[in-house]
Amino acid sequence: MASEIIPQESLENTFGSNVFSEAVMRTRLPKATFKALKKTIDEGLPLDPTVADIVANTMKDWAIEKGATHFTHWFQPMTGITAEKHDSFISPTSDGKIIVEFSGKELIKGEPDASSFPSGGLRSTFEARGYTAWDCTSPAFYKNNTLYIPTAFCSYTGEALDKKTPLLRSMQALSKQAVRILRAFGNTTATKVTTTVGPEQEYFVIDKKLYEKRKDLILTGRTLFGSKPPKGQELEDHYFGILKERIAAFMLEVDQELWKLGVLSKTKHNEVAPAQHELAPIFTTTNIATDHNQLVMETLKKVANRHGLVALLHEKPFAGVNGSGKHNNWSMASNDGQNLLEPGKTPHDNEQFLVFLAAVLEAVDEYADVLRVSAANPGNDHRLGANEAPPAIISAFLGEQLTDILEQIENGGAKSSKSGGELKLGVTTLPALPKDATDRNRTSPFAFTGNKFEFRMVASSASIAEPNTALNTIVAETLSRVADRLEKAKDVDAEAQAIVKEIIKKHKRIIFNGNNYAEEWLVEAEKRGLPNIKSTVAAISALITDKTVKLYEKHGVLTKEELHSRYEIYLENYIKVINIEALTALDMSKREILPASLEFAGTVASEIAAIKSAGSKSSAAEKLLAELTATIDSFGKNIEALEASLAGGHSTSVFKHAEYHRDVVFTAMAALRIDGDKLETLVDERVWPLPTYADLLFRV
Ligand code: ADP
Ligand code: MG
């Protein structure tokens, strides 16, 4: 299977074959309908309802030819995963038969019961109505005999109950401000600026049979016990290593499924940790990239299952082993074909680029807390600020060339751009390589990488909607400030230079090109006054500060009520996740680890008795028994402590309740783990009930 060769032609035909794409629409829709729809998609104009009827009918015919019997509005509630409710295309007729039907109304609007989705107090459960609204900017697709229609999800009163609505609003907000700046620079062609994203997805793949023996993986997505294996990632032999045949076959099938859905899956490789991999698509419009990333996560899981494997998307499935993240590559593109973060050959005299760059830096510094919370979830607490990449402190890497230019600007004016030159390898048959103007920095949470920023804090299991909503909104804000000034300026170039200079002076503390993992950086960052927000619970407060509310309301992205609802939802989610982890840890402790350890201690005790009655003695066995019983005792006490912790902490404040779970329950769970992991190293592997880290990571 792994070596199956796909002919080029079939590759080209496969790609997007299950997408109701622009090409499909162009050939199937009447010209006028296509034009009207295209105007809505490209220029953001409201959709004419008569157009919807024709589109719906055409979509239905197309989907039925593929084998569809149902359609579903596909949406992204606050659970972070997608939701769907399937309806069949059938409609009864008066003579007891059916006709196959799909109306514009059904395409545009759906009414899933909203009461069982998290709303964070935006609605009571007795108010069940919720609406989904067709998002025509993300193409419909066919999968599993069903036509999927991407939609936004809101309450009866119009508040966003999902992650897509604010994302779309933030894209609109950024476009508006960016176009103002382009206009100020004399651009008359661009009418829209979209943000683009290429999310690199990290994940682990393990054997399903072993997975099924681990309640912690099944119920929480991560291992709650497991001592460090004799071999980890220290040999650095996994990164970019040869793909195992089984993994290669799985990856090929993932690619093929994704290609059919129009996902531009491009790069795949082994990551740093054993059993860890990465998939990166080619970038696209943020909204579509967000939908596609959901499809990527879903496809990884589904296809893994077919191969007797399990894909783990959790941020930290294995303690002491590299965790997973999502690298959110982000830029801004105008509809007249410019990447607004493309520095060009001589960035020092590229005023427009420098203005956009400066605005991003200002946004990242001023709203570091808004960005930080967009990457916060309980899983990511094990990465960010917990001895792993990247730290919880937000800083931006610019590299040598741009840092030099900004320094020149700060000291008067920029006269030159350092170039990378050529790299000669000293072998005449090897080509001279043009060198990038800047080396890379793998440790920065927010790195400029040539013509885009790479936001590396994003959680591997989370939707990328949130980080991009945050990024778009904070940049829309700083762009609006720049636009206000440029629009009033007599000499736009001089004003642009002044703006960039001011921003650099004020926000240069956010630039850090060094090693973000070094201890010294923590000290230096504190000196610079950069926030170091270590936990999800602490980060969440940023959602409801006056400053954040003002920001989101000004740009029409989220209202105060919507922000408060999100605040509640995330805190409640945090509490629930920790609670489930604690209950799972207790279950495994009491019903697996403790019985196995006691059984083994009993065996050792009878061995000792047997040896003694034979007139000998074994100090090794006695030492082992002593260590076993001591650890079992301590383990038992820690079980009680964790149980007791779960009984406490009730508070009328959801924030206090969450803090309690972080400080007390989580800590008790960590203490229990230490003894549990020690027992693993003491107990006979023939009676140990759980597959070990070595089994999970190396037996794929
Ligand atoms: P690396 O792992 O070296 O960072 P990859 O090739 O794995 O690089 O991923 C880079 C990602 O950045 C890809 O998804 C790519 O499509 C994306 N990207 C490139 N240019 C842009 C851009 N202008 N806007 C958004 N994403 C981009
Ligand atoms: Mg990367």
Chain segment 68-86, per-residue pLDDT in tens? 999 999 999 998 889 998 9
Based on the fold, state whether residues 504 and 582 are members of the same structural domain. Answer: no
- Using an 8 Å Cβ cutoff, are 558 and 552 in contact? yes
Backbone dihedral angles phi then psi of residue 215, each to the nearest 5 degrees: -60, -35
Among 523, 558, 593, give the residue marking a domain's end. Answer: 558
Question: Over 90: is that where the pLDDT of 386 sits?
Answer: no
Lowest mean pLDDT among 113-117, 223-227, 518-522, 564-568: 113-117
Which of 171, 194, 200 has the most ligand 1 atoms within 8 A of CB, as the residue to mutate? 200
Question: Over 70: is that where the pLDDT of 127 sits?
Answer: no
Based on the fold, state whether residues 321 and 175 are members of the same structural domain. Answer: yes
Q: How far apart are CA 328 and CA 322, in angstroms?
A: 18
pLDDT in tens, 664-681: 999 999 999 999 999 999
- Using an 8 Å Cβ cutoff, are 272 and 233 in contact? yes
Backbone dihedral angles phi then psi of residue 10, each to the nearest 5 degrees: -70, -30
- Using an 8 Å Cβ cutoff, are 649 and 665 in contact? yes
Host H or E run for residue 253:
helix 245-260
User: What integer is the mean pLDDT of 44-67?
Assistant: 91
Q: How far apart are CA 21 and CA 12, in angstroms?
A: 14
How confident is the model at residue 494, as a pLDDT? Answer: 94
Based on the fold, state whether residues 135 and 176 are members of the same structural domain. Answer: no
* Confidence class for position 646, pLDDT limits 50, 70, 90: very high
- Using an 8 Å Cβ cutoff, are 470 and 371 in contact? yes
Output the CA 278–ligand 2 centroid distance in Å: 10
User: What integer is the mean pLDDT of 532-558?
Assistant: 97
Count Cα neighbours of 659 within 13 Å in the Cβ-side half-sphere. Answer: 9
How confident is the model at residue 49, as a pLDDT? Answer: 83
Determine, yes or no, domain membership for 1. no
- Using an 8 Å Cβ cutoff, are 402 and 453 in contact? no
- Using an 8 Å Cβ cutoff, are 526 and 409 in contact? no
Nearest ligand, measured from the Cα of 293:
1
Q: How far apart are CA 122 and CA 129, in angstroms?
A: 12
Question: Over 90: is that where the pLDDT of 424 sits?
Answer: no
Determine, yes or no, domain membership for 427. no
Which of 276, 288, 329, 331 has the most ligand 1 atoms within 8 A of CB, as the residue to mutate? 329
* CATH code: domain of residue 91: 3.10.20.70
Give the distance from CA 617 to its chain's centroid. Answer: 58
Output the CA 155–ligand 2 centroid distance in Å: 37
Output the CA 559–ligand 2 centroid distance in Å: 33
Output the CA 329–ligand 1 centroid distance in Å: 6
Question: Over 90: is that where the pLDDT of 273 sits?
Answer: no
Which of 609, 673, 617 shows the shortest CA–CA distance to 641? 673
Determine, yes or no, domain membership for 426. no
- Using an 8 Å Cβ cutoff, are 326 and 333 in contact? no
Based on the fold, state whether residues 479 and 383 are members of the same structural domain. Answer: yes
- Within 8 A by CB and 6+ apart from 488, the residues are none
* CATH code: domain of residue 303: 3.30.590.10
Nearest ligand, measured from the Cα of 327:
2
How confident is the model at residue 119, as a pLDDT? Answer: 81
Nearest atom in ligand 1 to the alpha carbon of residue 339 is 23
* Confidence class for position 157, pLDDT limits 50, 70, 90: confident
Determine, yes or no, domain membership for 77. yes
Based on the fold, state whether residues 87 and 211 are members of the same structural domain. Answer: no
Question: Over 80: is that where the pLDDT of 239 sits?
Answer: no
Tokens representing 496 are 């642009």
Ligand 1 in contact with 197 (CB < 6 A)? yes
Expressed as residue numbers, the domain containing 631 is 573-698
User: What integer is the mean pLDDT of 356-382?
Assistant: 97
User: What integer is the mean pLDDT of 265-293?
Assistant: 92
The number of folded domains in the chain is 3
**CB burial readout 328-366, b (16+ within 10 A) else e:** bbbbbbbeeebbbbbbeeebbebbbbbbbbbbbbbbbbb
Backbone dihedral angles phi then psi of residue 447, each to the nearest 5 degrees: -115, 135
pLDDT in tens, 497-534: 999 999 999 999 999 999 898 889 999 999 999 999 99
Determine, yes or no, domain membership for 192. yes
Which of 475, 486, 397 shows the shortest CA–CA distance to 438? 397
Which of 452, 456, 464 has the most ligand 1 atoms within 8 A of CB, as the residue to mutate? 452
- Using an 8 Å Cβ cutoff, are 326 and 374 in contact? no
Residue with CA nearest ligand 1 atom 5 = 280
Question: Which DSSP category does 591 fall into?
Answer: I
Based on the fold, state whether residues 511 and 544 are members of the same structural domain. Answer: yes
Per the model's pLDDT, the better-predicted residue between 650 and 284 turns out to be 284
Count of residues making up the chain: 700
How confident is the model at residue 251, as a pLDDT? Answer: 93
Based on the fold, state whether residues 328 and 217 are members of the same structural domain. Answer: yes
Question: Over 80: is that where the pLDDT of 234 sits?
Answer: no
Which of 178, 254, 543, 516 shows the shortest CA–CA distance to 375? 543
Q: Is 289 exposed, middle or buried (0-12, 13-18, 19+ CB in 10 A)?
A: buried
Based on the fold, state whether residues 578 and 439 are members of the same structural domain. Answer: no
Question: Over 90: is that where the pLDDT of 269 sits?
Answer: no
How confident is the model at residue 682, as a pLDDT? Answer: 97
How confident is the model at residue 527, as a pLDDT? Answer: 96
How confident is the model at residue 156, as a pLDDT? Answer: 82
Based on the fold, state whether residues 545 and 653 are members of the same structural domain. Answer: no
* Confidence class for position 359, pLDDT limits 50, 70, 90: very high
User: What integer is the mean pLDDT of 296-313?
Assistant: 97
Question: Over 70: is that where the pLDDT of 387 sits?
Answer: no
- Using an 8 Å Cβ cutoff, are 278 and 201 in contact? yes
Ligand 1 in contact with 200 (CB < 6 A)? yes
Tokens representing 370 are 């808004």
Determine, yes or no, domain membership for 463. yes
Among 535, 558, 581, give the residue marking a domain's end. Answer: 558
Backbone dihedral angles phi then psi of residue 73, each to the nearest 5 degrees: -80, 130
Helices within 433-559 (DSSP H only): 465-488, 492-507, 519-528, 536-540, 546-554
* Confidence class for position 354, pLDDT limits 50, 70, 90: very high
Host H or E run for residue 439:
none
Side chain identity, residue 668: A
Q: How far apart are CA 151 and CA 642, in angstroms?
A: 42
Ligand 1 in contact with 81 (CB < 6 A)? no
* CATH code: domain of residue 618: 1.20.120.1560
User: What integer is the mean pLDDT of 542-547?
Assistant: 98
Ligand 1 in contact with 466 (CB < 6 A)? no
Side chain identity, residue 591: R
Residue with CA nearest ligand 1 atom 1 = 200
Based on the fold, state whether residues 140 and 58 are members of the same structural domain. Answer: yes
Determine, yes or no, domain membership for 12. yes
| Beta bridge partners of residue 196, listed in sequence order | 285, 331
Ligand 1 in contact with 325 (CB < 6 A)? no
User: What integer is the mean pLDDT of 646-655?
Assistant: 91
Helices within 280-425 (DSSP H only): 286-306, 351-366, 368-374, 399-410
Q: How far apart are CA 436 and CA 372, in angstroms?
A: 30
Q: What integer best gives the mean pLDDT of the chain?
A: 92
How confident is the model at residue 2, as a pLDDT? Answer: 44
Give pTM, 2 decimals.
0.94
Output the CA 256–ligand 1 centroid distance in Å: 20
Determine, yes or no, domain membership for 567. no
Based on the fold, state whether residues 178 and 218 are members of the same structural domain. Answer: yes
Which of 283, 287, 293, 475 has the most ligand 1 atoms within 8 A of CB, as the residue to mutate? 283
- Using an 8 Å Cβ cutoff, are 539 and 94 in contact? no
Nearest atom in ligand 1 to the alpha carbon of residue 267 is 7
CB atoms within 10 A of CB 234: 6
Among 161, 179, 200, give the residue marking a domain's end. Answer: 161
* Confidence class for position 11, pLDDT limits 50, 70, 90: confident
Q: How far apart are CA 603 and CA 621, in angstroms?
A: 10
Q: Do the strands 130-134 and 396-397 form a parallel or antiparallel pair, or are they unpaired?
A: unpaired
Question: What percentage of the chain exceeds 90 in pLDDT?
Answer: 77
Based on the fold, state whether residues 309 and 451 are members of the same structural domain. Answer: yes
Q: How far apart are CA 464 and CA 460, in angstroms?
A: 9
State whether residue 116 is helix, strand or coil: coil
- Using an 8 Å Cβ cutoff, are 312 and 278 in contact? no
Output the CA 540–ligand 2 centroid distance in Å: 26
Output the CA 330–ligand 1 centroid distance in Å: 8
Q: How far apart are CA 667 and CA 661, in angstroms?
A: 8
Question: What percentage of the chain exceeds 70 in pLDDT?
Answer: 94
